[in-house]
Amino acid sequence: MTESILLAARGLHTYYGSSHILRGVDFSIARGEAVGLMGRNGMGKSTLLKSMLGLVRPRAGSVWVKGVEMTHTLPHRIAQAGIAYVPEGRGIFSNLSVHENLVMAARAGSQGQRDWTYERVLETFPRLSERLTHGGTQLSGGEQQMLTIGRALMTNPDLLILDEATEGLAPLIAREIMRIIGTVRASGIATVIVDKNFSAVNAITDRNVILVKGEVVFADTAAALRAQPDIHQRYLGV
């Protein structure tokens, strides 16, 4: 496993009690790459992310971060290695203001980089600059998602993982979030995107991985997925 691969899973098996959720999943993302993690609800996408991030312990298989095995490493150690996570549900600190939510996360990246400053985050999310004194719960759903992404960027990550990036957002706000994710991706940060708008994800990713009942059924380029509408309909259609 080379350092050019930021995060990888090899043969992951994860259970919740007696329920076998992940069944030998392989997954990887390289520096600067954008990968869509796709599948219908309940297929294991969030479990895969949590298993790689140390939030859920896999029963078998291995997790690698920048060429180092970190299968049972605590989540904060994986975060310190340059992996930022925007969870489903956002995880805003409701007792902190927008300003406080951002500055509490500020630090240099794993290589000492400080490309994403407080000022740059506010330039990227101008709506937040108008709400710096607002508490987390005083924001709309879209603003909360912007804040969560901005907070993750304040850690200057090598990899940004977004679980259900636009869930519950109005279409106009969802498109704005996707545009911002594209901007982040263009800045050189590797990105893993989980979202129900598969077409929007496919438009900004290099590769896509589709899970069905905890197994990988498709792993190929975004162009290959566009060229195979039968794959889209079979595994992603409703």
Domains and CATH numbers, the chain: 5-236 (3.40.50.300)
Which residues lie below 8 Å from residue 143, measured CB to CB, with a gap of 6+? Answer: 127, 128, 131
At 1, the pLDDT band (50, 70, 90 cuts) reads low
Q: Which residues pair with 60 in a beta bridge?
A: 13
Q: Do the beta carbons of residue 25 and residue 61 sit within 8 Å?
A: yes
Handedness of CA 99, 104, 105, 108 (dihedral sign): positive
- Whole-angstrom distance, CA of residue 85 vs CA of residue 194: 12
Answer whether residue 2 shows pLDDT above 70.
no
Q: What is the pLDDT of residue 33?
A: 96
- State the average pLDDT over residues 15-25: 96
Q: What is the pLDDT of residue 67?
A: 93
Share of the chain above pLDDT 70, in %: 98
At 101, the pLDDT band (50, 70, 90 cuts) reads very high
- Whole-angstrom distance, CA of residue 69 vs CA of residue 200: 33
Q: What is the pLDDT of residue 6?
A: 96
SS3 115: coil
The per-residue pLDDT of the chain, averaged, comes to 93
